[in-house]
C-alpha cells in the first residue's frame, strides 16, 4: 500500500480532508519513458506547436482559477490578495516564455565562408526535471517559471511536486495534462510525481534520461541534488536557487530613515517572511542605531499576524531562532503573535560578532532579521565579502551608486537594489534572479524572466560545402 501525503490548513491548525498517494518508482519510470519518447519524436520542436500549447494552457489556467484558489488557500493559508498577485505572475511568466520561444526560433545565424556555409540553431536539451518550491505554489511550482521556460525551449518536463501543497500541484498537473489531451499532443511532454521524502527526487535526477534540472529550495537540498547531477556518468546542468541573506546597508548619509525602515520591516514580515529575497540582515551605522531600533521595534509590533506555510516550516524557523539566541551575541526584540504563535522581530548585534558565530550568517526563513551595528566602512566591506554570494544586496542612502560599496555589491549579488527593498521580483526581461554561490548553483543564469529559457537549450552548428 502506498504512503499518503497530508496537507495542513495553518489558519485553523487542522489537517485537510484529502490525502495524496506518494508516487512509486514504477510511476516515475513510466514518466521518464514517456518523456524520452516525446523528446525523441520532436513533439515540441515546431514553434507553432509550442506557442499554441502555451496559449491554450494559458486559457485553461484562467478557466480553473477558482479551483486553484480553493486548494491554494487550504494548503498554504495565504490570502486572496497574495493568490491574485501570484496567479497573475504565473500567467505573465507563461506569456513571457511564449514570446521568448518565438524570439528563440528566430535566433538562427549563418556565416558564408569561401568554402562552406555554417549555420547555428538552438535545440532543446531533452527531458527536464523541476522541483516545486514550498513558498510559491503557482509561480515557482508545477505551473511556474522553470516548467514554462522548459516548455518554451521545447523540452518535456517531469515535476516533483512539493508535498506541502500536493493538492495544488496535482490540480496544476491535471490542467497541463488536459491541455495536452485537448491538443492531441504527446502525453510524455509532461509528467508529475509526488514524494514526502527524498527517494523519488534523487532517482529522478540520477536517471540518465533527464538532461537538465531546475530547483528552488534550501541550500542543503539543492546541494545534495547538485552533487547527484554532477556525479552521474553523464553530468547534467543543474540550476538551483538556494536562498540568501539579502544584506541591506544603511549608509550614514541616509535621509528619511523612518520611511526606509518601515518599508524594510514590511518586506521582512509580509507573508511571514517566507520569501527568498526577504532582507535577512541590515547593517546600520552606530550614529543611527538608537533611532533604528526604536522605529523597527514599533513597526514589528504593528505587523499583521500571518501563519507560516506549514508546521514543519515553523518548527525549522523556531529552531533557527533558538540557535541564534544561544550565541548570546546580541539583544532580541521579538514578539510572538497570539493568533498563530509565530515569533517576529530582530536581534541587534555588533559587526564583529558575525565573525565569531557562523550561525548568524545562515538564512532564517521567516519574519526575522539581524540588525548589525557598524562603525567602520572598511570593516563592513570585509564582512560583506565574507558573506559570499547573495541573490540581492541593497544599499540605502544618498547617491548609493556612488558609495564605495556599490562595486562590492555587484560582485557578491545577482541583483543590487538602491534605496528600495529586495522583495517583489519583477518578471521582466531586465530581471536577473540568481547570484554567486551559494545563492545559486550558476550565477550566469536567471530563474526569473525570459532569459531563463537559455538554461534549457543547447546550440548546434551545421556546416555544408558550397554546392551541396
Report CA-CA distances (Å) from 277 to 180, 295, 363. 34, 22, 11
Task: Decide: 97 and 151 in contact? Cβ < 8 Å.
Answer: yes
User: Please, what is the angle between helix 47-63 and helix 145-153, to 10°?
Assistant: 150
Question: Annotated catalytic residue: which of 86, 241, 373, 450?
Answer: 241
Residue owning grid cell 495536452? 180
What is the C-alpha separation between 328 and 348, in angstroms, rounded? 11
The question of whether 10 is a catalytic residue gets the answer no
Question: Annotated catalytic residue: which of 276, 284, 369, 373?
Answer: 276
Q: What angle do CA 124, 127, 129 make, to 5 degrees?
A: 120
Contacts of 139 (CB under 8 A, 6+ apart): 86, 89, 90, 93, 145
3 state DSSP class of 324: helix
User: Please, what is the angle between helix 145-153 and helix 80-105, to 10°?
Assistant: 20
Residue owning grid cell 555589491? 409
Q: What angle do CA 399, 405, 409 make, to 5 degrees?
A: 105
Outline where DSSP puts E strands in 183-291: 190-194, 212-216, 238-241, 247-250, 281-285
The question of whether 241 is a catalytic residue gets the answer yes
What is the C-alpha separation between 215 and 231, in angstroms, rounded? 17
What is the C-alpha separation between 86 and 69, in angstroms, rounded? 11
Active-site positions? 241, 276
Amino acid at each position: 500500500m502506498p504512503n499518503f501525503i497530508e496537507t495542513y490548513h495553518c489558519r485553523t491548525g487542522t489537517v485537510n480532508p484529502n490525502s495524496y498517494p506518494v508516487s512509486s518508482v514504477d510511476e516515475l519510470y513510466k514518466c521518464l519513458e514517456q518523456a524520452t519518447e516525446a523528446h525523441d519524436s520532436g513533439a515540441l520542436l515546431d514553434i507553432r506547436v509550442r506557442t499554441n500549447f502555451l496559449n491554450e494552457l494559458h486559457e485553461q489556467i484562467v478557466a480553473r482559477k477558482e479551483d486553484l484558489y480553493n486548494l491554494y488557500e487550504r494548503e498554504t493559508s495565504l490570502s486572496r490578495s497574495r493568490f491574485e498577485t501570484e496567479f497573475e505572475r504565473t500567467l505573465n511568466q507563461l506569456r513571457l516564455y511564449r514570446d521568448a520561444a518565438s524570439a528563440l526560433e528566430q535566433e538562427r545565424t549563418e556565416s558564408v565562408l569561401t568554402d562552406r556555409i555554417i549555420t547555428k540553431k538552438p535545440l532543446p536539451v531533452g527531458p527536464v526535471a523541476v522541483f516545486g518550491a514550498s513558498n510559491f505554489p503557482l509561480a515557482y511550482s508545477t505551473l511556474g517559471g522553470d516548467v514554462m521556460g522548459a516548455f518554451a525551449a521545447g523540452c518535456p518536463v517531469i515535476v516533483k511536486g512539493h508535498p506541502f501543497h500536493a493538492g495544488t500541484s496535482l490540480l496544476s498537473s491535471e490542467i497541463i495534462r488536459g491541455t495536452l489531451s485537448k491538443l492531441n499532443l504527446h502525453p510524455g511532454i509532461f509528467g508529475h510525481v509526488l514524494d514526502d521524502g527524498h527517494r523519488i527526487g534523487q532517482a529522478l535526477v540520477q536517471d540518465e534520461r533527464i538532461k537538465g534540472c531546475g530547483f528552488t529550495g534550501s541550500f542543503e537540498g539543492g546541494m545534495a541534488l547538485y552533487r547527484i547531477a554532477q556525479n552521474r556518468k553523464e553530468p547534467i546542468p543543474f540550476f538551483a536557487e538556494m536562498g540568501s541573506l539579502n544584506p541591506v546597508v544603511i549608509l550614514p548619509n541616509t535621509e528619511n530613515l523612518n520611511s526606509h525602515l518601515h518599508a524594510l520591516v514590511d518586506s521582512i514580515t509580509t507573508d511571514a517572511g517566507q520569501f527568498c529575497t526577504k532582507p535577512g540582515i541590515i547593517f546600520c551605522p552606530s550614529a543611527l542605531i538608537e533611532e533604528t531600533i526604536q522605529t523597527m521595534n514599533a513597526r514589528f509590533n504593528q505587523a499583521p499576524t500571518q501563519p507560516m506555510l506549514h508546521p514543519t516550516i515553523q518548527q525549522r524557523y523556531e529552531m533557527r531562532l533558538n540557535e541564534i539566541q544561544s550565541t548570546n551575541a546580541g539583544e532580541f526584540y521579538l514578539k510572538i503573535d497570539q493568533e498563530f504563535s509565530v515569533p517576529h522581530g530582530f536581534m541587534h548585534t555588533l559587526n564583529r560578532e558575525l565573525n565569531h558565530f557562523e550561525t548568524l550568517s545562515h538564512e532564517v526563513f521567516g519574519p526575522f532579521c539581524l540588525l548589525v551595528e557598524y562603525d567602520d566602512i572598511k570593516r563592513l566591506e570585509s564582512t560583506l565579502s565574507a558573506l559570499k554570494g547573495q541573490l540581492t544586496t541593497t544599499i540605502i542612502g544618498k547617491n548609493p551608486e556612488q558609495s564605495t560599496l556599490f562595486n562590492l555589491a555587484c560582485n557578491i549579488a545577482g541583483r543590487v537594489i538602491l534605496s528600495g527593498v529586495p522583495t517583489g521580483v519583477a518578471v521582466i526581461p531586465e530581471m536577473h534572479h540568481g547570484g554567486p554561490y551559494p545563492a545559486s548553483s550558476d550565477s550566469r543564469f536567471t530563474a526569473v524572466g525570459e532569459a531563463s529559457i537559455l538554461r534549457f537549450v543547447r546550440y548546434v552548428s551545421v556546416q555544408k560545402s558550397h554546392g551541396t
